[in-house]
Chains A and B, each alone.
Chain A
Amino acid sequence: MQNAGATLSTRVRFKRPLRHQASFELDVDFQVGPGITILFGASGAGKSTLLDCIAGLLKPRDARITLGQKTLQDSTAGIFLSPQERNIAYLFQAPALFPHMTVEQNAGYGLARAAGPERRAAVFYLLELFRVAHLARRKPGEISGGEAQRVALARALAPFPRAVLLDEPLKGLDAELKSSVVNDLRAWNRVNRLPILYVTHQRDEVDALGERVIALDHGRVVSEGVPHTVLNAPRTKRLARVAGFENYLTVAVQELREADGIMRARLTGSGAELELPLGYAAVGDRVIVAIRAGDILLATLRPTGLSARNILEGTIDSVEVRGATVVCRVNAGAMFLVHVTPGALRALEIAAGKRVWLVIKTHSCQLVEE
């Protein structure tokens, strides 16, 4: 394929004064190589705006965007390619299929210059890849939402793009369909080797897809790396929420032990103390600690002989079964959410009012910014 393996390089500074909301600012600088890179962040973090800038639908005042050797925008040199000239596939959150055209006409829309038979071949290859070829003669109003999104994907990929932007493309699809579309997309890209920028705020998609993750918050890149690292070390509270951290505790730093790499802090509003990994904080500072509900152990006897440094005594406030997960609310100086399995619930005879101990490893505690 043409120019396979190109790198999408994006530096964008964009400020949008919003009339009814606080002004929004985007300030990012990153590279996307061939393969799937996840752009991860809470809604409102600026992901869709960033994709619009890369596609050329928005014109940021200060930006330099290149794709391989091609400069898409360089504000200092006064270069700005229109969306038509960029040759970037862009799939929006909504399928945005043309309602008056058939599925086949939609999928072939970007191939207007190709000869009839060629276009037909390219279109049907993709419609078959995404398992919607049987719908070719239908109109968008006659197919399901999941089918429409797959047709939109085929339409976006048909014109031999050089990079792919996907804005939550699997929103609203069921889990099984999701994984089949993801596999098909991967198979397509094994041949094409294009940089794919994939926006999502779903943690399961990050785990399933990502070779690399860029976490965006408040218009800035807050961390970058393999999914495991980025998801387990969110830097802000908003990002921690989407990364699946349920507990947020405000603590006051009591003591720094730099030699041990830890600090001790007291939960506000109670006497309970926690040992935390050393962070940028001074004695007396108030910091926020994020802890996953699944990272907290629950014991019905006071545990001894454990390496975990934080053992808090408390009582069960309530128990709620949600499918395979049991959510326990535990009052231990502050209210903690703890996830256990239904089996553990029965074996430990956990019920409201029962006295328990929470066991939390120092490194399960993640310091986050507000």
Chain B
Amino acid sequence: MQALWLSVRLAASAAAILLLIGIPIAYWLARTKWRGKFLLESVVALPLVLPPTVLGFFLLVAMGANGPIGKLWVALFGHTLAFTFLGLVVASVLYSLPFAVQPLVAAFESVDTRLLDAAAVLGAGRWRTFREIILPLSVPGVITAAVLSFTHTLGEFGVVLMVGGNIPGITRTVSIDIYDHVQSLEYGAADRLAIALLLISFAVLSTIYAVNRRVWIPWPVKRGE
């Protein structure tokens, strides 16, 4: 149960951070007319197609004692970022980035531009328009982003194994715990955890789809010309 609680804490932290950084990125992607925006879109979508072990490997190298981030971290705090809970949070944020950004982009883009024009001629600046028009009209997208990044992080395995290792209470998440149990042929314990994870994921997703009524497809929504 320690592992399950750790996973929930990890997923909640990652989802919260993803909303904070995902909203500005998504707003920029939804509004920019920059031609090179496809580059950032591709970077954001990479974790969807990259094997988690590949992503985890890069992160491990970067966070390790000899990696650029790792060195900086050691200099600042005296230990590496790898094999810590914080390291897992950083890795999860990157791993689940598309699951936060893409529904947000879709939601921001679906706000009628004539509403934004109306706000502009009525004197509202960008920030006020975003806060009072775009964000309230994108609430379903924000909820979808939060839930998807939470559930996606909850079930991650490869990235966590690479970056976090298997330290009980610190980096041993539920999926790793299940794997451990199976390796040591403790099928009963694995079964209980697997069912708990399944139920949590199903409960969260069904809540969101019931509230939202809008099914999101994990690829960028095609924009009208």
A82 to B126, CA, bound (A): 11
Cβ < 8 Å to B, chain A residues 155-205: 155-156, 159
Name the residue among A92, A98, A100, A110 with the largest chain B CB count within 10 angstroms.
A98
**CA separation between A155 and B115, bound complex, in Å?**
13
Is the CB–CB distance between B114 and A96 below 8 Å?
A: yes
Residues from 10 to 36 in A contacting B, C-beta threshold 8 Å? 19-20
Interface status of A83 (Cβ within 8 A of chain B): yes
Q: A99-B137, A100-B136, A100-B137 are in contact. Are A83 and B114 (CB under 8 A)?
A: no
A92 touches B123 (CB 8 A): no
Q: Which of A19, A86, A98, A99 contacts B121 (CB 8 A)?
A: A86
How distant is the Cα of A92 from the Cα of B118 in the complex, in angstroms?
8
On chain B, the residues within 8 Å of A112 by CB distance are: 123-124, 128
- Which of B112, B119, B123, B137 has its CB near the most chain A CB atoms (within 10 A)? B123
A360 at the interface (CB under 8 A from B): no
- Report the separation of the CA atoms of residues A56 and B123 in the bound assembly, to the nearest whole angstrom: 12
Chain A residue at minimum C-beta to C-beta distance from B139 = A100
Q: Which of A56, A86, A109 contacts B119 (CB 8 A)?
A: A109
Assembly CA distance A92 to B119 (angstroms): 12
In the complex, residue of chain A having the shortest beta-carbon distance to the beta carbon of B129: A84
Q: Does B220 contact A (CB under 8 A)?
A: no
Q: Does A57 belong to the interface (CB within 8 Å)?
A: yes
Which residue of chain B lies nearest to A85 when distances are taken between CB atoms in the complex? B123
Residues of B within 8 A of A (CB-CB), count:
18
> In the bound complex, do residue B122 and residue A55 qualify as a contact, i.e. CB atoms below 8 Å apart?
no
A-facing residues in B122-150 (Cβ within 8 Å):
122-125, 128, 132-133, 136-137
Picked from B112, B125, B133, B136, the residue with its CB within 8 Å of the CB of A84 is: B125
The chain B residue with its CB closest to the CB of A93 is B114
User: Which of the residues B114, B124, B128 comes within 8 Å of A94, measured between beta carbons?
Assistant: B114
* Chain A nearest Cβ from B139, distance in angstroms: 9
Q: Are A83 and B137 in contact (CB under 8 A)?
A: no
The complex places the Cα of A57 from the Cα of B137 at a distance, in Å, of: 22
Provide the bound-state CA to CA distance between A99 and B117, in Å: 14
Specify which chain B residues have a CB less than 8 angstroms from the CB of A155 in the assembled complex: 118, 122
Contacts of A86 in B (CB 8 A): 121
Contact A109 B117 (CB under 8 A): no
Cβ-based interface call for A88 (8 A): yes
For A83, what are the chain B residues with a Cβ–Cβ distance below 8 Å? Answer: 117, 120-121
Interface pair A110/B122, CB less than 8 Å apart:
yes
Q: How distant is B136 from chain A, measured CB to nearest CB, in Å?
A: 5
Chain A residues within an 8 Å CB radius of B122:
109-110, 155-156, 159
Chain B residue numbers with a CB within 8 Å of A99 are 137
- Cβ-defined contact, A96 with B115, below 8 A: yes
Could you mark each residue 107-119 of chain A with 1 if its beta carbon is under 8 Å from any beta carbon of chain B, else 0? 0011010000000
* CA A360 to CA B122, docked complex, whole Å: 52
25 A-B residue pairings within 8 Å (CB atoms): A56-B120, A56-B121, A57-B117, A57-B120, A82-B120, A83-B117, A84-B121, A84-B125, A86-B121, A90-B117, A92-B114, A92-B118, A96-B115, A98-B118, A98-B119, A98-B132, A99-B137, A100-B136, A109-B119, A112-B123, A112-B128, A155-B118, A155-B122, A156-B122, A159-B122
Chain A interfacial positions (CB closer than 8 Å to B): 19-20, 55-57, 82-84, 86-90, 92, 94, 96, 98-100, 109-110, 112, 155-156, 159
Return the 10 tightest CB-CB contacts between A and B, nearest first.
A110-B122, A83-B120, A96-B114, A96-B118, A90-B121, A83-B121, A100-B136, A84-B123, A109-B122, A57-B117
Q: A20-B225, A98-B132 are in contact. List 20 more A-B contacts (CB 8 A).
A: A56-B120, A57-B120, A57-B121, A82-B120, A83-B120, A83-B121, A89-B121, A90-B117, A96-B115, A98-B115, A98-B133, A100-B137, A109-B119, A109-B124, A110-B123, A112-B123, A112-B124, A112-B128, A156-B121, A156-B122
